[in-house]
Amino acid sequence: MKYTYALLFILSIGLFSISCSTNRDVPATKWYRGNTHTHTSALRVHAKTSPKDVTAWYHKRDYNFLILSEHDLFIDPKKVEMPKDKRDDFILIPGIELSEELHGTCMNVLDKVKKISGKGKTNKQIIQSQVDRTLAIGGQFIHNHPNWLSKVKKEDIEGIKNLTLFEHYNGTMSVEQTFGSDEFESTQVIWDYLLGKGDVMYAVAADDAHSHEPGSDAPGRGWVMVNAQKAKELTPKAITDAMLHGEFYASSGVFLDNCDFDNGTYRVVINKEATIKELANLAQVRGKPIKNGKAGFRIEWIEKNGKVFKTTTALSSFLKAKKDQIYIRPRIVYTRKNLTFGWEEYFAWGQPQFMDGRTIKSNHTHGLASKIAHTH
Ligand SMILES: [Zn+2]
Ligand SMILES: [Zn+2]
């Protein structure tokens, strides 16, 4: 009899641990860290640091991929001198920054993209043409710093075919671009507007570094973390495809263990230690200044119209999406006291998950990408 009770007890413990280890106990995702936008002295007037030294900077800081995106000047990764101790998990992705009237990173292109004047064209026509020219030579396009010089309005980006990536955060322009000012429409407003209009649009954070000395153009302020399991391998094509499908999150300082959507549930788990360690370098990082704050993390869940519908200060959050929310996306905020000016905030932005059945095809009605089904 005693034996039976003991057996029942063991069985019930077993069942209990099974129920506890449902989706809340997921292992940390393996991520590839990368920067899609940086400048070098290859174009002499533009930046001071050589392609070799810029590459070494990112390699040393455990990035896994980098695009040396010079203005209309193709830097062939094969000709860039790599660090002597180069890790196997580091690659250069070939690309340029197309700098016409408007800018964008042409990702995974093996040549220059033909530059043409947009004179007399609308912003929408210019961006569409940039996307088309990039796809025509096998790459993907990221629309960079939309509100630079207040040039591009949200309506200009709406409905552009084959565009699913845009710079939501740019390390040089920093918080003014993302959160808006009297001059700028914020990229947050632009993003939720596009998502509300039915576009599939994913947010990129990038450095756009021009100088490797501490200052307003320093590197290490904006990056993406690509889901390594979804990308499957670290190659220019695999990383580009994974980003095209939204298999990444963007960051201005916050690291996550998990940020994915599985079986109707969006999972976010913060990596507190990695975040605090990363932000210990004050010369390099730059947060959003706020007047008053409370130290710590919070996870905000956003739905249609950019509405924050749920906030938690826990280090993880699991959310089952409802159909009428149209889309949900998480924004993860870390608040801390800054030594010089009060309080500041750093962010990670998870990509939207759509409840209305929209797919990448809604942006991609022709060309290469139309053949790729959305796999969420
Ligand atoms: Zn630019
Ligand atoms: Zn740039």
Q: For residue 9, is it within any domain?
A: no
Ligand closest to Cα of 46 equals: 2
Residue 174 has a pLDDT of 62
Q: What is the CATH classification number for the domain harbouring 130?
A: 3.20.20.140
What contacts 13, CB < 8 A, 6 or more positions away? none
Instruction: Quote the number of domains for the chain.
Output: 2
In a shared domain, residues 184 and 91? yes
In a shared domain, residues 245 and 293? no
Looking at mean pLDDT, say which of 64-68, 152-156, 263-267 comes out highest.
64-68
DSSP string computed for 293-319: --SEEEEEEEEGGGEEEEEE-SSEEEE
Residue range 86-139, pLDDT digits in tens = 999 999 999 999 998 899 999 999 887 888 887 889 999 999 999 999 999 999
Residue 221's CB is within 10 A of a number of other CB atoms, namely: 26
Q: For residue 73, is it within any domain?
A: yes
Distance 99 CA to ligand 2 centre (A): 8
Q: For residue 367, is it within any domain?
A: no
Mean per-residue pLDDT over the chain, rounded: 87
Distance 119 CA to ligand 2 centre (A): 21
Number of H helices, E strands in the chain: 9, 19
What contacts 71, CB < 8 A, 6 or more positions away? 39, 43, 46, 96, 97, 99
In a shared domain, residues 223 and 304? no
Q: For residue 187, is it within any domain?
A: yes
In a shared domain, residues 245 and 276? no
In a shared domain, residues 304 and 228? no
CB burial string 266-300: b at 16+ within 10 A, e below: bbbbbbeeebeebbeeeebbbbbeeeebeeebbbb
CA Rg, the chain, in Å?
22
Residue 364 has a pLDDT of 64
Distance 126 CA to ligand 1 centre (A): 15
Distance 327 CA to ligand 2 centre (A): 30
Long-range contacts of 56-62 (CB under 8 A, 24+ apart): 56/83, 57/212, 57/219, 58/219, 59/83, 59/86, 59/87, 59/90, 61/220, 62/33
pLDDT beyond 90 at 61 = yes
Write down the residue that tokens 């991520």 correspond to: 31
Asked which of 252, 276, 303 is the last residue of a domain, the reply is 252
In a shared domain, residues 126 and 163? yes
pLDDT tier at 260, thresholds 50, 70, 90: very high
Please tell me whether residue 190 adopts helix, strand or coil conformation: helix
Residue range 171-230, pLDDT digits in tens = 987 667 888 777 778 999 999 999 999 999 999 999 998 887 766 678 999 999 999 999
In a shared domain, residues 55 and 71? yes
Distance 184 CA to ligand 1 centre (A): 16
Q: Which residues pair with 337 in a beta bridge?
A: 343
Q: For residue 363, is it within any domain?
A: no
Please tell me whether residue 351 adopts helix, strand or coil conformation: coil
In a shared domain, residues 235 and 92? yes
Q: How far apart are CA 127 and CA 113, in angstroms?
A: 13
Please tell me whether residue 123 adopts helix, strand or coil conformation: helix
Residue 46 has a pLDDT of 74
In a shared domain, residues 271 and 212? no
Distance 96 CA to ligand 2 centre (A): 9
Distance 374 CA to ligand 1 centre (A): 29
| Burial (CB count <10 Å: 0-12, 13-18, 19+), residue 158 | middle
In a shared domain, residues 203 and 230? yes
Q: For residue 5, is it within any domain?
A: no
In a shared domain, residues 259 and 331? yes
Averaged pLDDT, 61-83: 96
| Domain housing 280 | 255-356
In a shared domain, residues 285 and 342? yes
Q: How far apart are CA 53 and CA 35, in angstroms?
A: 15
Distance 211 CA to ligand 1 centre (A): 14
244 membership: H or E segment, kind and range: helix 236-244
Asked which of 204, 230, 252 is the last residue of a domain, the reply is 252
Tell me the residues surrounding ligand 1 (ion) with CB < 5 Å: 103, 144
